[in-house]
Amino acid sequence: MVAAPAGTGHGVTNEPPKSPRNNDAACLHPALAPKVEAIDGLIDRFGLPFRRFEGFRDPETQARALADGRSKGGPWRSYHGFGLAVDYVGHVAGGWTWHHELPWDELGTIYETVGMEWAGRWRTFREMVHGQLPIRSLRELRSGNLGTRNREWLLWFFGESPASPPHVGWLQRQLNMLLDAGLDVDSALGPMTGDALLDYSARHGLAWAECPQSAAVLISITAHLLRDEP
């Protein structure tokens, strides 16, 4: 999310945040990606002065957004972190702008038309640029209930931070279903989760290192679990 100067909700500036940002639609959650395509089409159709500014945020970028005052949440505390939020910012004369006279209400109408929540209606930390698709609560998302079985996106997402809370929570859910492992879905790589990962690896002939928490092992097991997914 890109916050505006305090007290305005939509500031006047042409200086985008200096922290890295990702506006690639391919990195968005599969439930949001088609809505973003529709937003792009509607913006073009009505000739509105907006462009996609930011979508997915990895944990490091989200931490910087919090430190910069651009977000109220740290890593895994924003829908941006799950590819379920996007910011559209004014783009005029080749530059970014948050000018208060831009047609923000029209942007908000587009967000809501495609079925998203528009932060321009929030009572606190109101953001004219921000739209999100809360298909799950943040608590559910952090535990690994990501609301998609899209193999390509899940592998990419888990690969961005393979020891991340949602990744570990997702693995725990899978191991409970397949092995009746009895794990708490707490997104923590504790001894019981490590033993279950090694058990799964041994049963399926997967290569694994002494440390089941290593990134390579986590991604290898994830790929195997997702092998039959569409």
**What pLDDT does 14 receive?**
58
Q: What is the pLDDT of residue 70?
A: 83
Distance in angstroms (rounded) separating the CA atoms of residues 53 and 89: 6
Residue 71: what pLDDT? 87
- pTM higher than 0.75: yes
Rounded to 5 degrees, what are φ and ψ at 174? -65, -45
For the chain, the domains span: 25-135, 139-225
pLDDT at 20: 79
Can you spell out the DSSP letters for 138-191? Answer: HHHHHTT--S---HHHHHHHHHHSTTSHHHHHHHHHHHHHHH------SS---H
Which residues in the chain show pLDDT less than 70?
A: 1-19, 208-210, 212-213, 228-230
Q: Does CATH number 3.40.1350.10 belong to domain 25-135? A: no
